[in-house]
Each structure stands twice: as structure tokens, then as C-alpha cells.
A and B are shown apart, each in its own frame.
Chain A
């Protein structure tokens, strides 16, 4: 631990990025949620306790405060997830066009026991998610941040089978 950056436990590149981000707002903590996104993207796909603590230090907040924010938002994972995260929309427009079948198929193809679970090989986590704002292209899932729309069960098999 030779410098500030390392003590904070955040990679220097992220610290630089966050310093730029906070300049957009009159208060530092406004950049917290965008920063948590970047941490999740760069630091293993989830927000480990050490990551939250490091963010607390950077944003000059109590760790419990940062935990409170992170736990409020469904996009943040507070436990490890699979290498690929599949979010299947189960809301009304998707349900009407077979979301539950998509969900079942997604679990089957990935080897996830049920929605919310991670496959034994750690390759996939399948989640139920709420409306993703693409209801006219239902049913859909989000695979690692990319939408796949107008799905048939064959698509599910092909896309998720190919991702492993």
C-alpha cells in the first residue's frame, strides 16, 4: 500500500474515471450509482463487500450507506453471479407472448435449477426481471447487457447454447 489509490482498493483507472464523473455534479455522491455500475462491470460482475467499502471511502460515505443504495437497485448483484447473466422479462407484454416458456427453456439450456440460480459450472445466472422497455418485441431477455428480442424457444437454445 504505497499510495492513496491502492488504499482505496479501487483500480487507479476507475479512480481517474470517477474523479471525472463527480465533476458533473454539485455533490460528489451523485456519481455513486454510475460508479457502482462501472465497478460491477470491471470487478467480477458483482459488488463485493470490499468494493462497496472502497466506494464508500471514495465517496466519503459510511459503508452502510453505500450498501443501502446498492441493495435498493435490482441491477446490482451483491452476491457472485455466473460468467453470463440472463435476465428474462416476465412482465405483462412478455408474459402474454410466452415469457414463462422462455424462462423455463433458459434454465434448461443453461443448467440453472430455477430462476435466480447459478449453474453448477458457474457459467450462467438466470434471473426474472421486470419490464425492460421493449414490450413490442416480446418475449425478450438481456444477455450480459445486450437485448435479444422476439424470441422463439429455438432462439433461446441457440443464443444461450452459443454463449457458454
Chain B
């Protein structure tokens, strides 16, 4: 399969993380074009709108539209912010890390373009605390860029001034949710905020704020340099561009690969990841991280784009495919995933706090052989009680969606666990059961 690439092209260069290499590869030319009078802020927003770029943080929201929600500074002169979401903690997802580590200047140029377009003069990069090397690389790149006059006052001699600061998180998944992130950035517990108000009206410190994912922003310089039409020539009509897909679990060659949106999952599995490992067969797969519904092998022909997966009752999410071979247990996978949501629920909403705990306990007991037939319908009704739109944030949805999916596609396997009083698959090893996880955060 041959197609144009751009996202990972520079990562193969020696010292790809340095300013010299980035510049030699044409870096900071998009910024230069803009700042030398090429495009007004409104024109940049229109260009991004026209490109059809959709957010890569999981929800797929149109980026240009999001930028246009920021108030007009002539009518609303308040301070305004960009928060870069580098929390990357959706299980299965490990793409932003590569961009930060191997091509940090690409991210910085994207941030500067976004700030110019939204007339923001302060951006924060919220990096999950465990990402030491990615943090150090972006921090070093910021220093290099600052020394070269690319960050700070009157960038490239223009009227545009912008600062970028690094900010380290401390290991809570919920701080990837945009309002949880803002609370955390303000130095508080990462408790998501009810919406409205939306961040563009009242975000960080109550001021207009936009939150964007790392990979989303990374696309911006390419769009400015090559144009919206070029961008739309890749991917599908409703999901244009290339995307970073991570494929992990039971495959021969796990990795992060760049593909056009709309590429079939089967192609990614077979042509990139070398197929299922050990000569086994595919049993099931999570298409876009742990928050997306588990699908059976029969659906591996699906296209990896927002609409195709939504129609199939799942989601593109973060494009993180997690593959299970035919010796794996679908129920065990949900025991692990529900344990995660139980642990990560911030506890503000009773539906989520209680719901995630119940889901976890039920999946654990079915897997351990202590389940009852009624438990299967109980899973569905709990998930219905949690989502959609019943809680402050979408973590409850993230736990409910894969629950509905397993009941829909793997009901027989759930029933078999109950009937046999245990897992019919060979356990990879013993797992600690409910309650052993320690206290909730």
C-alpha cells in the first residue's frame, strides 16, 4: 500500500529532536509564512476549518471550529490560554509520546500557529508525569526555540508574542479529560467541571481556553504549508488526513504506524503489524483504546475512521488498536479495563463512582467463576444508568461503551463463564481480585 506520509517522516532523521535538524527539514517555515503577513489569524482558522482536521485526542471534534469558538479579543479582551493535552493515558495509546520525543519542534510550531490563530499568548503543555524523556525533549526544544527568537516577545520580528510553559501532571487518567486537566493545571485535584460553561468561555482561571491534543496540533504546520486541499486529498471525506495508529497486544509487530484515516483495520493488522502472533487467529479487538467497544474478528474489515466505527457501534477514539488472539479471554480483558475505570473515577458523580466499582466487581466475579446469569443483564443495566450524558464527564461513558459491546458481541462467552463456574480459556496467570487495588485516588 503506498500513500503520502508526513507525521512520522522526520522521526527517522538522526537528532530529529533538535532545532537544526528540524530547520533543515523545512521546519518553522509555516510560522514564517504566517508571521511575514501571509495569513491573518482568521485566515488560519478558515484554513484549518477547510482542511477538515478533527481532534486526535479521542472525540474527533473539528479543530478549526473549536478554534473559532474563542471570543473575538476586540470584544473580550481577557487573557486567554491554550492547554496542550499531552496526558496520553488512554490504555493502548502511545502516539503523542513519539511525536514529543522524536519531533518536539513540530509540536512547538503547531502550538505557535494555534496561538497565533486564537490570539493566545500563553500556552501550557500538560505532560503526564511519567513521561520523563518526552518531557525533557519538549522542554529542551522550547529552550532552543526561545533562544532562537521563536518563542517569547515579537517572534521573528513580528507583532506576535507567545510563551510556552511545560507542566507536569502526576499520574491520574482523569486529568486527560479537558476540564480535569484545567483543574489539575490550576494546582487542584483533577475533578472535571460541569459544562457549560465551555472552556472557550471560561477555562483556565475562568478565562477563554482551548484544549488540544498533541497530534492535532502537530498537523497544523503541514496544513499551513501545503494547504487544505492537499490535506483533504488524504483520508476520507469526513475524516481527512493521516492518523497515528498504535497496534498492541497479540500481534507480531506491535508499533505506531501512520496511515490515512479510513484504512481498513485488517490492512493495519496484516500489512503493518505482521498479523496475529504465534500463528494464531484473531478473536477480538478494541479499535481505539480501552474506551471503545470490543469488536469480534468478523468485523476486522472495518475502516479506521470516525464515522465507520461509530456506525459499527464502536469508536475511533485514539486509534489505539488492542488485539486479542484466540487463546485470550474477552471477559478477562474487561475485568482489567473495568478495574482501570474503577480506579480512575474521580468519584464526583454517584453513577460513575458506584457504577465503575460494580462493573469491576461483576466482571471479576464472572471471570473468577462466581458469576450468576443475571449478572449479564445487570452489566447492561448498570451501563445504561451511567451513560450517555448522565455524568459530569465522559469517563462514565468510557466505562459503559465497552461494557455494552462485550454483552452484545460476546454474550455467549459471558454465559459460558457462568455455566462452567470459571474461565474456559487458559489463564495467562492469576490475577489479584477485587479490593486488592488499594484505595481509590
Contacts and interface: CB of A to CB of B under 8 A. Distances in A.
Contacts of B333: 92, 95-96
B355 interface: no
A136 B94 contact: yes
A134 interface: yes
Contacts of A130: 89, 91, 171, 173, 340, 343-344
A52 B188 CA distance: 14
B137 interface: no
Given A26-B205, A100-B431, A101-B428, A75 B91 contact: no
Interface string B406-424: 0000000000000000000
A5 interface: no
A116 B129 contact: no
Interface stretch (A6-14, A33-41, A118-126): A33-41
Interface string B316-338: 00001010100010001100110
A31 B187 CA distance: 6
Interface in A93-129: 93, 95-98, 100-101, 104, 115-116, 128-129
B105 interface: no
A27 to B, nearest CB: 6
B57 interface: no
A88 to B, nearest CB: 12
B437 A73 contact: no
B254 interface: yes
A34 B254 CA distance: 33
A8 B432 CA distance: 42
Nearest to A33: B170
Nearest to A135: B248
Interface string A59-74: 1000000001101111
A74 B93 CA distance: 19
Nearest to A76: B170
Nearest to B324: A96
Given A26-B79, A92-B91, A73 B172 contact: yes
Contacts of B256: 136
A163 interface: no
Contacts of B336: 90-92, 95
Interface string B158-189: 00000101011111110000000000111111
A44 B173 CA distance: 26
Interface in A16-34: 24-27, 29-34
Question: Which of A90, A98, A130, A146 has the largest count of B CB atoms less than 10 A from its CB?
Answer: A130
Contacts of A76: 170
A133 B89 contact: yes
A152 interface: no
Interface in B338-378: 340, 343-344
Nearest to B256: A136
Contact of A27 (B128, B171, B205): B205
B248 A136 contact: yes
B441 A96 contact: no
Contacts of B246: 135-136
A37 B343 CA distance: 22
| 9 closest cross-chain pairs (CB), A and B | A73-B170, A32-B187, A75-B171, A29-B187, A93-B248, A100-B429, A131-B91, A136-B254, A72-B189
Contact of B130 (A75, A91, A97): A75
